[in-house]
């Protein structure tokens, strides 16, 4: 004979908050966009405005949403990890670089342990895109290409947890790349990116980790 515990009813506020979270995670409520007002949401869901307000407040506390006085509520982050980072303003450039170094070096080591031809092609394509953006001093394209290279290294690790952590920092990472970019790029920086690529391609985990740390240090020195 087995006994089941009492059925736990999920509070209405939590149900509504979960629906809003799903809209954020799916991209239907995109980052940096304003969401519908409380009255509209309450009408669409058939709940009270107070329920909507409390649900929005709970997501604001996690950093997913940001209420702006006189302007409505905006999506600030797409998951709780990045929400906490942004909410607590852990965005000093040196701190972001240090976090990047730890994640990217671990990822580079793993990637070198099992180099994938397809992912190596993606990395060299990102290097070439960086070169093209550097030649034309196109900051937006440069940030996209450099982000693709660094994320490609993490993706090549094959570790979904590292990738999720990295993606959670996406906004801060893009800001750190944009803040440290200068044209024309110092030759040492391009060489440092190639060192990471070559160590991964050679299947040398220790060299890949060292090169990844060295790359971030080179970026910091050339800010």
CA 117/CA 144 separation, integer angstroms: 22
pLDDT reported for residue 34: 96
Other CB atoms within 10 A of residue 24 CB: 21
As assigned by CATH, the class of the 12-84 domain is mainly alpha
How confident is the model over 28-70, as pLDDT tens digits? 999 889 999 999 999 999 999 999 999 999 999 888 899 999 9
- For the chain, give every residue range classified as CATH 1.20.120.530: 90-221
Q: Is there a contact between 209 and 109 (Cβ–Cβ < 8 Å)?
A: yes
How confident is the model over 116-135, as pLDDT tens digits? 999 999 999 999 999 999 99
Average pLDDT of 186-205? Answer: 96
- For the chain, give every residue range classified as CATH 1.10.10.10: 12-84
Q: Is there a contact between 73 and 56 (Cβ–Cβ < 8 Å)?
A: yes
Determine whether domain 90-221 maps to CATH 3.40.50.150.
no
In terms of Cα–Cα distance, which of 135, 133, 132, 99 is closest to 212?
Answer: 99
Q: Is there a contact between 94 and 220 (Cβ–Cβ < 8 Å)?
A: yes
CA 96/CA 84 separation, integer angstroms: 14
């Amino acid at each position: 004979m087995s006994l089941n515990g009492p059925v736990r009813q999920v509070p209405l506020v939590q149900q509504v908050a979960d629906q809003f979270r799903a809209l954020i995670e799916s991209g239907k409520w995109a980052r940096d966009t304003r969401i519908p007002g409380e009255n509209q949401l309450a009408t669409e869901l058939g709940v009270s405005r107070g329920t909507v307000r409390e649900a929005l407040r709970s997501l604001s506390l996690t950093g997913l949403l940001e209420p702006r006085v006189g302007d409505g509520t905006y999506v600030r982050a797409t998951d709780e990890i990045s929400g906490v980072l942004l909410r607590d303003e852990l965005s000093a450039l040196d701190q972001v670089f240090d976090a990047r170094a730890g994640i990217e070096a671990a990822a580079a080591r793993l990637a070198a342990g099992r180099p994938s031809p397809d992912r190596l092609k993606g990395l060299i394509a990102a290097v070439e895109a960086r070169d093209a953006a550097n030649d034309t001093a196109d900051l937006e394209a440069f940030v996209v290409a450099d982000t693709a290279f660094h994320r490609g290294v993490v993706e090549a690790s094959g570790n979904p947890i590292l990738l999720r952590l990295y993606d959670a920092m996406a906004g801060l990472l893009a800001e750190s790349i944009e803040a440290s970019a200068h044209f024309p790029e110092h030759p040492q920086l391009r060489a440092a990116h190639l060192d990471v690529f070559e160590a991964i391609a050679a299947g040398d985990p220790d060299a890949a980790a060292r090169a990844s740390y060295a790359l971030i240090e080179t970026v910091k020195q050339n800010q």
